[in-house]
Amino acid sequence: MTTLEVEIWRGAEEGRYETYEVPSQPSQTVLDLVTYVQRKLDPSLAYRFACRVGVCGSCAMTVNGTPRWTCRTHVQKVATQGRVRIAPLRNLTVVKDLATDMAPFFDKVQEARGRFIPSDAAAKSVAEVPPEEPKRKEADAGIECIGCGVCHAACDVVRWLPEYLGPAALNRAWTLVNDARDGDRIGHLRAIAEDAGCHACHAHQSCAEHCPVGINPTRSISGLKRLVLMAAIRGRL
Amino acid sequence: MSGIERHETDLLILGSGGAGLLAALHADDKDPSLKITIAVKGLLGKSGCTRMVQGGYNVALAPGDSLQRHFMDTIEGGKWLNHQELAWRLVEGAVERIIQLENRWGCFFDRNPDGKLHFKAFAGQTVDRTVHKGDLTGIEIINRLAEQVWARGIRRLEEHRALALIPARDGERLSGVVLLDVRTGEFRFIAAKAVLLATGGGPTMYLYHTPSGDKSCDGLAMALRAGLKLRDMEMVQFHPTGLIAGKDTRITGTIIEEGLRGAGGHILDGSGERFMHRYDPRNERATRDIVSRGMYDQMRAGKTGPNGGVFITMKHLDPAMVRRQFKGMVTRCADVGFDLVGGDVEVVPTAHYMMGGVVFDLGCRTSLPGLFAAGEDTGGVHGANRLGGNGVANSTVYGGIAGETMAAFVKSGGGIVAPDEAAIEAAVADALRPFSRKPGDLNDLRERLYRLMWDDVGIVRDEAGLTRGQKALDELATELGEAGLPDTTRAFNLTWADWLSLDSLILTSRAIAAAALKRDDSRGAHYRSDFPETGSLERSENTVVTLKENRIAVTTEPVAFTRVRPGQTLS
Amino acid sequence: MKRPELWLYVAQRGSALVLAPLVLLHLGVILYAVAGGLSAAEILGRTRTSWIWPATYGLFVVAAAIHAAIGLRVVLREWTSWRDSSLDIATVGFGLTLLLLGFRAVQAIA
Amino acid sequence: MRRHASYRAFLVHRLSGVALALFLPVHLVVLGLALEAAALDGFLNWSAQPLVKAAETILVVLLALHLFGGLRLLAIELLPWSDRQKDWIGWAAAAALTVGAGFVVRSFI
Ligand SMILES: Cc1cc2nc3c(=O)[nH]c(=O)nc-3n(C[C@H](O)[C@H](O)[C@H](O)COP(=O)(O)OP(=O)(O)OC[C@H]3O[C@@H](n4cnc5c(N)ncnc54)[C@H](O)[C@@H]3O)c2cc1C
Ligand code: HEM
Ligand code: SF4
Ligand code: F3S
Ligand code: FES
């Protein structure tokens, strides 16, 4: 049986890589490597996962320098010459080993007013919204975000300007301003026009490049830039 | 008095699935002055199974549908074991809930081209009534609920694992909960005026299982230890098609979508032959339980693929159709190395859902004052089988109800009461026990538990197997008690978490085995090869399990046919 | 002003929009000038015949001063830890310097 | 993380922008010298040297890169999204290099 050389970050913000030998298997994800290490080699290794099928967004880590969802990343896809280096996600603080504190990431969603504001909360029936309406299509394109933080980790502006709202939060805001049922479009725009808002994005597109579910936050953010620009010029902010 | 950190809150909600989050929102709506705390084992909104819901949400809103029909499908599906009032409240509540999910919380479900809700077909239903968001319905629901919770002043205790329900000093009611802060390894006691158990059951004690990794029946184990009754614990639903790719990958057990069979997928044995025609004229399109048993039969006869499963294949169908219609499934398989379009994918039946759970009433009250329950932790709504689409309806409908009843309970005088200090001490001591023992082989214990539940308390059961299983479970319980952990660090110690999970799983498994032995007929998810017939529906009984002095006791109670009797229907 | 960063962004993009045609024009002029091997006197001879040239370059200078100053500020904020109000003062300083030098140059060709 | 076309395009745009911003004051000072035409002539002579010519070429290319890259960015930000925007990077680079080539050709031939 061949083995893989797996380097894993141990510690918190301060730490080091430790190397482990993990037997290679035909069906093996990066999450499986980490699990093997915790179960068989070092019981104190900390990492996070829940669903194991790419819906919860808990398991993202940096794999050979790239942020990825580890439960859906086959080792063969990332191993280079039998080596895999696994680190926690960038741009978040490390709690322990591979687990980061994701609360600041979700705080940003709130800062971006990334939540539905009902226009008619007491309505007794479900609104009619044709799926082919252009705005609905825009919203649908960004709605399946799993909140994994991969885009947040990939974005250099988040790194350079820690208060920047970041791609996931802005993407959520974009889905809301395109939601015909939302009652506070201007409120969402105001939130993302604040000082570290959408205009801080330089269209690096690392977010879109790495999003595991194929969302394109760059597209959403540029949409927001246009709406904010119009609203600002018209004095509506 | 135990020296652990203590806090007080009005409402303490355990779990952040559909049940937990809606309870928090409804309680907060009802009385914004309440101090609400959600404690969850994983991250808020990112753990549990509601998020994993694929198929969708059953609601009687489609033209031609009615509450009565949804109710009757639920009762027929449940083989007359359902608590009929709970089932009625479910179908009624689902309508209310879907409308609120859309209009108040912002979920958006798929529409027809004309803009009206789309309803899809789901097995076992006489009308297309399943509302969905593609095949990622759960993400939409939980994301929307979580962002609403995040926006409010609701306190979050993420990565806090509930360990034990602590009674009041006089034992008359609940005082609070002992939790383990996973990140620091420290304990906290949270005293609350009302506590919601919404940890979501989850049959993860089987070799193959679908639920998320954070679920380990902690809620059910805590309830048993607190003296509560669990009903119909033998009812464990298996999903016929789970991926199997070896025991060292977490992919094993995860669901391959049911729609594949509906769309014409074939199931093949190890030598590539179809076999379902031998079990049911509907072939692969038979119901979950029949397909699961057919597959299991082939596996027991040794007609398996390399990993011990059978195969599902779509290769005889139009690849473009498969790619288009099952995009998510095709990429998921491809990501982990399987070709769903042109190849054979090895599959096994996989433990999916627990119909059984804590006995509760229409207001989500349990027999312990101050303790409420909702979601997959509870039993009674689904009877012997759960319809696809009724699971998330259950957690969201009853979660909301629980929030309202709890708010009312606090208002009407449910205060903070002094805890039984000895119980707190004991809970902490129990959790710390492994650190003072010689390190044991948890992997071996886990694999043995998985295997014995699969073989002896699984898809096909009989008296000999169940008795053997019970004995083995008792031994495992003893061995786990002896098995220690290296005392390295308590902070974010996943191996400690594994130990605690095994502890809950073994106890819950004992309840399942005992209830399964008690039920001497076959119905719904429960199949006894020594009693293959379904007994009299008229004289249907529920099993009730309790824990007394660490011994499992099982009794039965007749089902009350409060709305319909077998043979009748509502219209 | 509320939301200063947003307005800086607007000014930076607005000035870019102004610069775009001017730079295109300027590139054309450069190509024309180098190819023709024009002497200073010849260049000046042409620019001084009409007010259009000075006006155009005047606009260029204003837009470039705004655009480059804000642009540098963004880069500094992101790539260095210089974030306080002294950066804003420096930005304004840089912009004014460009304006000053620019107008001196425009005067020369006028 | 940074190994993709859009990020490289960003870097080129930023570095060219900074270079231009630093060069601009120098350029304006020189132009200011046109107050005395003779000084400018001297300068133009000096700038006919190959090394200086090469530096000028680079500046022209930088300006063109920044211009076309900037137009690309403005299009992303101001026009409705197009999935073709990735191709624009190539077009912008090509346009900039054409200008550069034109400059070289016209100044040496
Ligand atoms: C893959 C999959 C697909 C499904 N598809 C469908 C479908 O299409 N339609 C349908 O109706 N149903 C479906 N179900 C079933 C449905 O998801 C569940 O029945 C329902 O969502 C359960 O909700 P819940 O709130 O009770 O529990 P969950 O959503 O599971 O939440 C439980 C919560 O409790 C937390 N928790 C657990 N233990 C502790 C502890 N000790 N302390 C603190 N917190 C704890 C967990 O971390 C989690 O946050 C599916 C289930 C799975 C696994
Ligand atoms: C005299 C000429 C110019 C100078 C000195 C200059 C300088 C700069 C500088 C220093 C930056 C900051 C770089 C960054 O933020 O990454 C910048 C950014 C920018 N420039 Fe220019 N520029 C000039 C001409 C132009 C022209 C003609 C255009 C337009 C078509 C343009 C469009 C832009 C854009 C869109 C940005 C923003 C980039 C971003 O935020 O990512 N610039 N410029
Ligand atoms: S946008 Fe994509 S990468 Fe970013 S959090 Fe959502 S799913 Fe993850
Ligand atoms: S990577 Fe960052 S800079 Fe913008 S396009 Fe994406 S948010
Ligand atoms: S474990 Fe849920 S996305 Fe990977």
Q: Examine the domain organization and report whether A76 and A109 are in the same domain.
A: no
Ligand 4: which atom is nearest the Cα of residue A166? 7
Q: Calculate ∠ Cα A97-A99-A104, nearest 5°.
A: 130
Better pLDDT: C104 or A99: A99
D38 touching A, CB under 8 A?
no
Residues of C in contact with D28 (CB under 8 A): 61, 98, 101-102, 104-105
**What's the average model confidence in pLDDT over B30-57?**
97
- Confidence (pLDDT) at A192: 98
Question: With bands split at pLDDT 50, 70 and 90, how would you rate the model's confidence at B125?
Answer: confident
Determine the distance in angstroms separating the CA of A86 from the nearest CA of chain D, rounded to an integer: 14
Residues of D in contact with C17 (CB under 8 A): 74
Q: How far is the CA of A92 from the centre of ligand 4 (A)?
A: 16
CB pair distance less than 8 Å for C108 and D99: no
Looking up residue D15, the CATH number of its domain turns out to be 1.20.1300.10
How far CA A36 is from CA of A25, B85, B385, in Å, comes to 11, 47, 35
- Residue B440's nearest CA partner among B483, B500, B475 is B483
d(CA B160, CA B40): 5
Known catalytic residue at B433: no
Say which of B239, B332, B490, B528 is annotated catalytic. B239
Q: Which residues contact A44 (CB under 8 A, 6 or more apart)?
A: B486, B488, B489, B493, B495
**Single-letter amino acid, residue B8:** E
d(CA B373, CA B402): 7
DSSP 8-class letter at B120: B
How many Cβ atoms sit within 10 Å of the Cβ of residue B425?
15
- Confidence (pLDDT) at D38: 62
- Confidence (pLDDT) at B37: 98
Better pLDDT: B229 or C44: B229
Instruction: State the ligand closest to the CA atom of B394.
Output: 1
Say which of B132, B156, B188, B261 is annotated catalytic. B261
Among D14, D73, D81, the residue with its CB nearest the CB of A223 is D81
Question: With bands split at pLDDT 50, 70 and 90, how would you rate the model's confidence at B189?
Answer: very high
Q: Over 80: is that where the pLDDT of B415 sits?
A: yes
Determine the distance in angstroms separating the CA of A186 from the nearest CA of chain B, rounded to an integer: 17
Task: Give residue C46's domain range.
Answer: 11-109
- Confidence (pLDDT) at B345: 95
HEC string for chain A: CCEEEEEEEEECCCEEEEEEEEECCCCCEHHHHHHHHHHHHCCCCCCCCCCCCCCCCCCEEEECCEEEEHHHCEHHHHCECCEEEEECCCCCCEEECCEECCHHHHHHHHHCCCCCCECCCCCCCCCCCCCCCHHHHHHHHHHCCCCCCHHHHHCHHHHHCCCCCCHHHHHHHHHHHCCCCECCHHHHHHHHCCCCCHHHCCCCCHHHHHCCCCCCHHHHHHHHHHHHHHHHHCCCC
Tokens of A76: 């063969």
Q: Examine the domain organization and report whether A88 and A73 are in the same domain.
A: yes
d(CA A50, CA A28): 17
Starting at the edge strand that comes first in sequence, how are the strands of the sheet with B357-359 ordered? B378-379, B357-359, B230-231, B541-548, B551-558
Question: With bands split at pLDDT 50, 70 and 90, how would you rate the model's confidence at D34?
Answer: low
Task: Give residue A77's domain range.
Answer: 3-100
Among A160, A161, A197, the residue with its CB nearest the CB of C6 is A197
D78 touching A, CB under 8 A?
yes
Largest Cα–Cα distance of chain D, in whole Å? 53
Measured in whole angstroms, the distance separating CA B165 from the mean position of its chain's CA atoms is 20
Q: What is the DSSP string of B142-207?
A: HHHHHHHHHHTT-EEEETEEEEEEEEBTTSSSEEEEEEEETTTTEEEEEEEEEEEE------TTSS
Task: Give residue D98's domain range.
Answer: 5-107
Residue entry with tokens 């902070």:
B491
Q: How far is the CA of B17 from the centre of ligand 1 (A)?
A: 6
Residues of A in contact with C11 (CB under 8 A): none
- Name the closest residue on chain D to residue A227, using Cα atoms: D78
**pLDDT tens readout for residues B448-467:** 999 999 999 999 999 999 99
Determine the residue among D11, D74, D77 to mutate to test chain A binding: the one whose Cβ has the most chain A Cβ atoms within 10 Å: D77
Looking up residue A114, the CATH number of its domain turns out to be 1.10.1060.10
Better pLDDT: B331 or C108: B331
Q: Over 90: is that where the pLDDT of B195 sits?
A: yes
Last residue of a domain, one of A82, A100, A118: A100
Residue entry with tokens 């529906």:
B537
Q: How far is the CA of C68 from the centre of ligand 2 (A)?
A: 7
Q: Which residues contact B186 (CB under 8 A, 6 or more apart)?
A: B4, B5, B180, B490
- Residue D11's nearest CA partner among A163, C15, A158, A202 is A202
Q: Examine the domain organization and report whether A208 and A158 are in the same domain.
A: yes
- Confidence (pLDDT) at D103: 85
Question: With bands split at pLDDT 50, 70 and 90, how would you rate the model's confidence at B335?
Answer: confident
d(CA A41, CA C38): 77
Ligand 4: which atom is nearest the Cα of residue D6? 5
How many Cβ atoms sit within 10 Å of the Cβ of residue B287?
15
Domain count, chain A: 2
- In the Cβ-directed half-sphere of A171, how many Cα atoms lie within 13 Å? 26
**Single-letter amino acid, residue C44:** L
Q: Examine the domain organization and report whether A157 and A219 are in the same domain.
A: yes
Quick one: C87 exposed, middle or buried, by C-beta within 10 A (0-12, 13-18, 19+)? middle
Task: Give a yes or no: residue C2 inside a domain.
Answer: no
| Residue B350 near residue B253, CB atoms below 8 Å | yes
How far CA A119 is from CA of A180, A184, A185, B135, D45, in Å, comes to 9, 7, 10, 27, 71
Last residue of a domain, one of A100, A123, A150: A100
d(CA C51, CA C54): 6
C11 touching D, CB under 8 A?
no
Residues of A in contact with C4 (CB under 8 A): 195
Residues of D in contact with C43 (CB under 8 A): 40
**pLDDT tens readout for residues B21-40:** 999 999 999 999 999 999 99
Mean predicted lDDT score pLDDT of chain B:
96
- Smallest CA separation from ligand 2 atom 18, residue: C71
Contact of chains D and B by CB distance (3 or more pairs under 8 angstroms): no
Q: How far is the CA of B249 from the centre of ligand 5 (A)?
A: 13
**pLDDT tens readout for residues B278-306:** 999 999 988 888 999 999 999 999 999 99
Domain count, chain C: 1
Q: Examine the domain organization and report whether A96 and A107 are in the same domain.
A: no
**Single-letter amino acid, residue A164:** Y
Q: Is A91 in the pocket of ligand 5 (CB under 6 A)?
A: no
CB pair distance less than 8 Å for B114 and A128: yes
**pLDDT tens readout for residues B242-279:** 999 988 999 999 999 888 998 899 999 999 999 999 99
- Smallest CA separation from ligand 2 atom 21, residue: D17
Last residue of a domain, one of A100, A120, A140: A100
Which residues of chain A fall short of a pLDDT of 50? none
- Residue B49's nearest CA partner among B331, B332, B233, B254 is B254
How far CA B29 is from CA of B25, B141, B315, B416, C63, in Å, comes to 6, 18, 52, 21, 54
Among B52, B112, B337, the residue with its CB nearest the CB of A27 is B337
Among C17, C44, C71, the residue with its CB nearest the CB of D37 is C44
Residues of A in contact with C5 (CB under 8 A): 195-197, 199-200
Q: Over 90: is that where the pLDDT of C38 sits?
A: no
How far CA B354 is from CA of A126, B237, B358, in Å, comes to 31, 6, 11
How many Cβ atoms sit within 10 Å of the Cβ of residue A31?
26
For ligand 1, pick from B44, B199, B205, B350 the residue to mutate: most ligand atoms within 8 Å of CB.
B199
Share of chain B above pLDDT 70, in %: 100
A195 touching C, CB under 8 A?
yes
| Residue B227 near residue B47, CB atoms below 8 Å | no
Q: Examine the domain organization and report whether A115 and A79 are in the same domain.
A: no
Tokens of B238: 């298996």
- Contact partners for chain D, using 3 or more CB pairs closer than 8 A, are A, C
- Residue B123's nearest CA partner among B240, B222, B266, B39 is B240
- Name the closest residue on chain D to residue A198, using Cα atoms: D77
Q: Examine the domain organization and report whether A74 and A110 are in the same domain.
A: no
CB pair distance less than 8 Å for A232 and C5: no
Better pLDDT: C41 or A162: A162
How far CA A50 is from CA of A31, A54, B159, B377, in Å, comes to 11, 9, 12, 18
Question: With bands split at pLDDT 50, 70 and 90, how would you rate the model's confidence at B322?
Answer: very high
Contact of chains B and C by CB distance (3 or more pairs under 8 angstroms): no
Q: Over 80: is that where the pLDDT of D31 sits?
A: no
DSSP 8-class letter at B273: -
Question: pTM here?
Answer: 0.96
| Residue B19 near residue B372, CB atoms below 8 Å | no
Q: Which residues contact A160 (CB under 8 A, 6 or more apart)?
A: C77, C78, C79
Q: Which residues pair with B178 in a beta bridge?
A: B164, B189
**pLDDT tens readout for residues D3-22:** 999 999 999 999 999 999 99
How many Cβ atoms sit within 10 Å of the Cβ of residue D86?
13
Among C24, C30, C109, the residue with its CB nearest the CB of D34 is C109
Angle at which helix B67-77 crosses helix B84-103, to 10 degrees, equals: 130
Known catalytic residue at B26: no
Determine the residue among C12, C34, C97 to mutate to test chain D binding: the one whose Cβ has the most chain D Cβ atoms within 10 Å: C34
**pLDDT tens readout for residues D54-74:** 888 888 999 999 999 999 999
**Single-letter amino acid, residue D80:** P
User: What backbone torsions phi and psi does residue A216 show, to the nearest 5 degrees?
Assistant: -115, 85
Q: How many residues comprise chain B? A: 571
Domain count, chain D: 1
Q: Is A71 in the pocket of ligand 5 (CB under 6 A)?
A: yes
Q: Calculate ∠ Cα A68-A69-A74, nearest 5°.
A: 90
Looking up residue A18, the CATH number of its domain turns out to be 3.10.20.30
- Confidence (pLDDT) at A159: 97
DSSP 8-class letter at B12: E
Q: Over 70: is that where the pLDDT of D40 sits?
A: no
**Single-letter amino acid, residue A88:** P
Among B104, B136, B250, the residue with its CB nearest the CB of A71 is B250
Q: Examine the domain organization and report whether A27 and A49 are in the same domain.
A: yes
**What's the average model confidence in pLDDT over D28-35?**
75
Task: Give a yes or no: residue C5 inside a domain.
Answer: no
Name which of A149-158, B204-213, B339-348, C99-108 the model is least confident about: C99-108
Q: Is A91 in the pocket of ligand 4 (CB under 6 A)?
A: no
Q: How far is the CA of A177 from the centre of ligand 4 (A)?
A: 19
- Confidence (pLDDT) at B258: 85
**What's the average model confidence in pLDDT over B1-23?**
93
- Confidence (pLDDT) at A166: 98
CB pair distance less than 8 Å for D6 and A210: no
d(CA A160, CA A67): 17
| Residue C64 near residue C23, CB atoms below 8 Å | no
Q: Which residues pair with B192 in a beta bridge?
A: B9
